[in-house]
Amino acid sequence: MTHHFPVRVFYEDTDLGGIVYYANYLKFIERGRSDWVRELGIDQRALFEDEGIGFVVRKVEADYLAPAHLEDRLDVQTELTHAGNSKFVVRQRVVRGDTLLFEALVTIVAINRAGRPVRIPAVLRR
């Protein structure tokens, strides 16, 4: 199942030429992942405050395929590709219409307050 998160490119997202600055794609996909998790019914703040479990990015493999420009309307697509005991991997794409602009595989790890990997609670793995 693919989650969709709309993004509009604002002036602050671009460089002098009106092209989206490369690091901003990471912001776009972070917002997409956060919205995906929220729509799954997971309150990340409560999870950390109540159970001491948080999620951190361990690895990002990114491909920049085509530029996005000022005022573009983009779609950040997120889908789960792997779920393990303490980590999961998502594939994320940023598209403009039918054009794939950016694609990434993101590995997320569950950690405790001390920063050590922990098992993802069973209710979340489901």
Q: Residue ranges of the domains in the chain?
A: 3-125
pTM of the model: 0.92
Tens-digit pLDDT profile for residues 26-65: 999 999 999 999 998 889 999 999 999 999 999 999 999 9
Pairs from 98-102 (Cβ < 8 Å, separation ≥ 24)? 99/66, 100/65, 100/66, 101/25, 101/64, 101/65, 101/66, 101/67, 101/68, 101/74, 102/25, 102/28, 102/29, 102/62, 102/63, 102/64, 102/65, 102/68
Which residues are tagged catalytic?
15
pLDDT over threshold 90, residue 126: no
Class for the domain spanning 3-125: alpha beta
